[in-house]
Each structure stands twice: as C-alpha cells, then as structure tokens.
Amino acid sequence: MGNSMVIGGTAVYVPEERLTVESLADQGLLSQNEAASLLGRGMASVPYEKALPSPDMLDLTLHALLNRFRVDPERVRYVVMPYLYYSFPYTKDVLGSLRRKYGFRQAVCFSLRDQLCSGYLMGMYAAGKLLEAAEDEAAVVLLTVEKCLLPGQRYGGGVLITGDACAASLLGKRLGGDRVLAVRSVTDIRTLQQGKLKNRADDVPNYFYFVNLAKVIRRTLADAGLDFGDLKVAIPNNITQETWRQLAVLLKISPELFYTEGPSVSGHLNTCDLPVNYARLALEGKLRPGDYYAMISLGNGGVIGCAVCQKGNDPPVLACRP
C-alpha cells in the first residue's frame, strides 16, 4: 500500500512558552512525589499555548504547510483530522471553516477519535487507503492538534505530563518528499482495558502490548522489504523510555535505535508526538535524504501504528505566530 504514497511536506507548531512541573505542583495538580518522579525522568516542562485556541493553532499550522509546500487546493480530496475530544469543545464547524478558507472545494473532511497517541498513524493509514482509490493527482491533508483546556488534562501521574502542539502533513502520490514504504494500524480488542473503568486497575498484562508491538513492527518492515539494520532511527511516541528499552530486548535490537528524547524535550503530545519528533530530527540534520526511518506509536488500549519511510529532500517547516 505504502509505495504509492508520499509525505509531501510537514509543518509543526510547538509553542515557545513552557509550563513547568514546579508550577503544576504549586497548583496542587501534582504531588511532591509525582513532581520529583517527573524531574527525575528529565521532564521539567512542556510546551504551553496560553492564547491560541485549537482551531487557530490548526489554521496557523495549515497556512505554514501550504505556504511552504504549495499544492493546488483542487487536488486536495480529503482532510483527515485525528484529535482528542477535550481539544474541541466548540459548536462551530472547524473543518468546514478551514475547507472554505483554503479553497478545498473537492475535499471530504472527517475526523478520527479515540486512537489517542496512535491517531496520527491511523490518519496516515486511512489516507493511504483513500489514495489507492483516488486519481494520481489527488492529495490528502492530515491535521492534528493537542491542546489541554483544563490543568487536570495534563496529568499523567509521576510518569508523563501533556503539552500543547499542532501538526499538518501533505500526503499524495505525485509529490516530492518522503516515500511511505509501508504503514499499518492495528486495534487489538484483547488489549482493551475493559475492567479499568470499574476497578481503576490494569487488567491486561504488559506482555500482550509488547508482543503486539513487535508483531506489527516486524510485519511493517517486511511489507517495506527492509530489516531493522536498514533503519537510521525508529521514532516512537512520547511514552515512557522503559517501554522502548523493553521492546528492544524483545526484538533483539539495540535500544539506541529508538529516539527517546521526545518526553524530556516536549513532554507527551498525544497525536502530535510523531510529527513533532520527526520534524526535530530532520531540522537538526539527524535524518538525511535517503535514510530509512520508522514511526511507531502505542495508544490507549493497545492501538498500534507503524510506518516505514524513506527521507526525501524537502525539510519540514516550523509554523510561527502571525
């Protein structure tokens, strides 16, 4: 599936203002033990968007994407937006407003929800399926935003805190950019935490998550005709570093393959983790044209995504405030 799709460009917006662990502890949202645990993990602060609401963050980032990676709006056939429910307490038609503003007259707009950290790769997988049935000139805009509206929504115990960010990617068949060699998105109902809502305790052993992760990654690499040794880096979503170290043991590969600096730099960004981490690596020159890389996500309930790509020539772009 993936060999017909290209990431023609990516734009990310990461606020410059930071929200610190100390301030959350001072507000009583974290205990002193939780704050100490976060600081011990190197997570001292997260990006914080104080002024812009999530629709404006989407507009800002989409404008940067289309301004840098120009595409005829008539070519855009779909606008796909993975999101978390709390980012959008709005009655207005957010996607419809963007569709009209940017002239996506031929586009069908829809959202994806409840995939949490795996939303971005679920959106990429859906885009690939849609492009298979579309004409060669068709393009898809993949939009996602993470915006906490209440302080309690940032809470992740002593393990993670959530920051704010936004990302947009342009996908298509006839575009320059990163080739998507393979992409998979899997939801295994056997790992859904059905008892957790009742007793607030995990009722699925971690073993099942790791087995499913390993299986999806191996199959995606096989789809791409590659092995772990071909990868420059594996870019995971920003969950605990222990997850990726344990997965490396199961896969019998070096843990150094995984980029695990994301949580200490930007905290947990849910659907924005992967594009933000990718943009950081590319803009810092750690991903070069021709390099193979994987994006891997583990979402709530065991929703797993994996994409294997080859870096193209066009670097991502940072969205800036107007």
CATH number at residue 150: 3.40.47.10
Cα separation of 62 and 251, whole Å? 37
Predicted pLDDT at 3: 47
pLDDT tens digits along 50-104:
999 999 999 999 999 999 999 999 999 999 999 877 777 777 888 999 999 999 9
Choose between 197 and 263: higher pLDDT: 263
Please say which residue of 141, 156, 172 terminates a domain.
172
Please say which residue of 137, 153, 172 terminates a domain.
172
pLDDT tens digits along 284-294:
999 999 999 99
Same domain flag for 255 and 135: no
Same domain flag for 235 and 108: no
Per-residue pLDDT averaged across 152-163, rounded?
85
Cα separation of 315 and 220, whole Å? 24
Predicted pLDDT at 271: 93
Same domain flag for 27 and 53: yes
Residue 249, phi then psi, degrees to nearest 5: -65, -45
Number of domains, the chain: 2
Same domain flag for 128 and 201: no
Predicted pLDDT at 1: 47
Predicted pLDDT at 220: 98
Same domain flag for 50 and 84: yes
- Domain enclosing residue 287, as ranges: 178-318
Over pLDDT 90: what percentage of the chain? 71
Predicted pLDDT at 2: 42
Per-residue tokens: 51: 């002024």
Please say which residue of 172, 198, 232 terminates a domain.
172
Confidence of residue 194 (pLDDT cuts 50, 70, 90): low
Same domain flag for 166 and 186: no
Same domain flag for 65 and 185: no
Same domain flag for 189 and 245: yes
Element (H, E) at 97: helix 94-101
Same domain flag for 243 and 182: yes
Choose between 207 and 191: higher pLDDT: 207
Choose between 120 and 303: higher pLDDT: 120
Count other Cβ atoms within 10 Å, centred on residue 312. 19
pLDDT tens digits along 5-14:
999 999 999 9
Per-residue pLDDT averaged across 140-157, rounded?
89
Per-residue pLDDT averaged across 15-40, rounded?
92
Q: Does pLDDT of 201 surpass 60?
A: no
Q: Does pLDDT of 205 surpass 80?
A: no
Q: What does DSSP say about strands 76-83 and 231-236: parallel, antiparallel, or unpaired?
A: unpaired
Same domain flag for 140 and 39: yes
Same domain flag for 261 and 155: no
Same domain flag for 244 and 227: yes
